[in-house]
Structure 1
């Protein structure tokens, strides 16, 4: 019976306390679960209907609380939190682990030649551009011209950075060249994310009071949100790209691993996945900062501060979706 399930469950917020790291980690383990990317359109649509109906006060007969939360996390894994639109499949956070394992393995394996560096950095930054756009904060659309300009700027800047680091590494010890992919990815994240979210930096992102009432748009909030996302993304790359180079450099010195380049490439690629632990790195790094980020009203633009003082004088802290 519909009355069996309370209508007081707040599914607008995560199931676990987002004020603690462990609570955020539990939340993101659900959101980034790679199995979610395999769900059918019918399953996603069913979850959407359950969630939207529950928010409207309509409960599916026989629905349990666990089933409701499961539907909520299936919904969150595929639909944008601000626009409600279904996200492009490879841009979803549930696609991060399988996509990053493949791309990272290739970047660590094929790092010696310039064409390989250019190709795999382009592939990686194209993927990142899709993820950054898909998981942007706010609900304002980007035009095709804006999106195209952002994509070209982000990917070309990242590739140029990778080539510059590769050139510099030639003068340094061999092990340093193994860190070029990680350094390039870290630097590229600092370029790619702001470029793909440049509209937020220019026009701001929605900020709300504690009850979810929209108070305006803030570019200062966008700067904080994007900085937090950059830190999280760099952190995700550490297990996959900063640890394997040290291990592989040590193994290559052993006589039993002095094999032809093809065998070495296969070994490097196959060792990347278990060492990287991307299944854990992705949700744990997403959990570094709350998804519903906050800042003091005094940190906002002067005109927005004045607007909030007039319309909501009791508000001292504003909240916003930082994106992923």
Structure 2
């Protein structure tokens, strides 16, 4: 079992523990670490078998626990907020369907690529062109999600709704659940090979006992749900807070509403990111009764573990 997975299993039992660990691991300054420094730290951990907070900061954010390869800088967890924040802000203020489609396409392209890079590797990857399949699934999911996300803007422009209530629903309330659902959809689509091929499951000593489709399904569904909560809340809560700010007239100058809105979105996204990553254990657990019977003949263990992915 990977050193960071061992650490997550030991120190990330509760939501609060996981939240504190992710708050450290998401520090953007970790992106400044060079590949050589990451490799040296990784080697030191493997040699000394340390299970301190150092592996989380230097490797959970930089090294894939399944493939043991260094993750590209743009797709490491500390880069997630700096890249998605401007995309979320731009997507939330679009008033033209074409522009909305374009920015949501860019947004879903990045989040889908992030999901693909940080997901589980599949043992049957060599038997067929898995990467091509995932790319096609990802492109289809991205296009569909961007189209669905642009529908409220297109609907408003086409029918020029005058009803204030309908404007509130279509422009303010509808985009949040749509973004949450489409974000979960892209996760499920790009990681669907984990349903078909399964992922590795390990006993408490870290020994791989086999490949489980049920564990793969559990890992993907947990990640999809956490992504839906992240972006659904990030779109919905700022709208509520800005409505309260405008009603209470906390901001006198209308020109200041734009910067205040950006600050609110940044605050909500910054707070929700470690919350969503902490919803489920990074080193997931699955009971014996939930695994395929053919995997259980070689062991008497009652609890098994897997890498959930991000």
Give the TM-score normalised by the residue count of structure 2.
Answer: 0.84
CA contact (8 A) 1:105 1:269 kept: yes
Q: CA RMSD in A?
A: 2.8
Is this contact kept in 2: 1:292–1:322, CA < 8 A? Answer: yes
Is there any run of 5+ residues in structure 2 with no aligned partner, and where? none
Structure 1 residues 195, 249: closer, same or farther in 2, change over 3 A?
same
Task: Report what 2:231 is aligned to.
Answer: 237
Residue 182 of structure 1 corresponds to which residue in structure 2?
A: 176
In structure 2, distance between residues paired with 1:22 and 1:246: 26
State the match for 2:86 in structure 1: 102
Q: Give yes or no for the alignment of 1:198 onto 2:192.
A: yes
Q: Note the C-alpha offset of 1:273.
A: 1.6
In structure 1, stretches of 5+ residues that fail to align are 1-8, 56-64
CA separation of 1:287/1:316 partners in 2, compared to 1, >3 Å: closer, same or farther?
same
Measured in 1, the distance between the counterparts of 2:90 and 2:10 equals 36
Q: Determine if the alignment matches structure 1 residue 295 to structure 2 residue 286.
A: yes
The C-alpha deviation readout for 1:250-297, integer Å capped at 9, x for no partner, is 5557694556xxx765553354223x1x33321122111111111222
Cα offset for 1:81? Answer: 0.6
2:71 to 75, 87, 93: 87
Question: 2:275 matched to which residue of 1?
Answer: 284
Alignment partner of 1:214 is 2:208: yes
Cα deviation for residue 145 of structure 1 reads: 1.6
How far does residue 83 in structure 1 lie from its aligned partner after superposition? 0.6
The answer as to whether partners of 1:28 and 1:287 remain within 8 angstroms in 2 is yes
Q: Does 1:113 find its partner at 2:96? A: yes
Which residue of 264, 272, 276 corresponds with 2:265? 272
Q: Is the 8 A contact 1:294 1:320 kept in 2?
A: yes
Following TM superposition, by how much is the alpha carbon of 1:197 offset from its aligned partner in structure 2, in angstroms? 0.4
**Range that drifts further, 145-154 or 34-43:** 34-43
Residues 212, 179 of structure 1: alpha-carbon distance in 2 compared, 3 angstrom cutoff? same
- Output the TM-score relative to the length of structure 1: 0.80
1:73-111: per-residue Cα shift (whole Å, max 9, x none)?
A: 21221000111011122221111221222211111222x
Structure 1 consecutive aligned stretches of length 4 or more whose deviation exceeds 6 Å: none
The counterpart of 1:152, out of the listed 139, 163, 166, is 139
Tell me the SS of whatever aligns to 1:295: strand
Whole-angstrom CA distance in 2 between matches of 1:91 and 1:269: 23
- Higher alpha-carbon deviation: 133-142 or 284-293: 133-142
The answer on whether the counterparts of 2:198 and 2:213 sit within 8 Å (CA) in structure 1 is: yes
**Within 2, Cα distance between the matches of 1:319 and 1:16?**
12
State the aligned residue count. 295
